[in-house]
Amino acid sequence: DDYNLDFTNQRDSLYQLATAMLDSIENETNSYSGMGSVQLKRAELSLDHIFDLEKARAALKKLKSLPGTRDSPEIPYLEGRIHLANREFTQARINFTRANKQAEIGELAEKTRYFLALTDFYGGDYEFAGIQLKSLGRQNTSYYANDALELRLWLQQGT
């Protein structure tokens, strides 16, 4: 089942609750050390579920204004996500590559590789998308491995 296509009232209320909780954290705790994660989640919710680029841009702007985030891989990752949403594939690819190099290993590195593959896919570079997905699919601990395998199989069947 692809729950991303399920826009029932229960799912909408969960996203509204998540947004309200992020608002609460931001408004009630000015010195919270995880404020960067709050802005990252806010931007991802805006891009993935609410489809509001302006809210994603606002969260990115707040993330950039936080101390110590100047060289954070989350910034080029979110910039890449926004460029991808705007179908600016070349700029998205540049930002995802930069974020991946900064993140090196871990969840954000896997996430950037997945979105880099999606960027190549949407940009029409199916061969390179397949290479990216093959690499990601081999990581059996990755949250994105199953999606990578599914998209890679879809690419193979279409070519």
- Taking CB atoms within 8 Å and a gap of at least 24, the contacts of 87-96 are 87/122, 89/119, 89/120, 89/122, 89/123, 90/123, 92/119, 93/119, 93/120, 93/123
Instruction: Answer whether 41's CB lies under 8 Å from 22's CB.
Output: yes
Euclidean distance between CA atoms 14 and 4, whole angstroms:
13
**Pairwise CA distance, residues 106 & 156, whole Å:** 27
- The pLDDT value recorded for residue 97 is 94
Taking only the tens of pLDDT, the chain with its 159 residues reads 344 555 555 556 777 888 888 888 888 887 788 899 999 999 999 998 878 899 999 999 999 999 888 889 999 999 999 999 999 999 999 999 999 999 988 888 888 988 998 899 899 888 888 888 777 766 656 666 666 666 666 666 765
Domains with residue ranges and CATH for the chain: 1-69 (no CATH), 73-159 (1.25.40.10)
**Are the CB atoms for 22 and 59 separated by under 8 Å?**
no
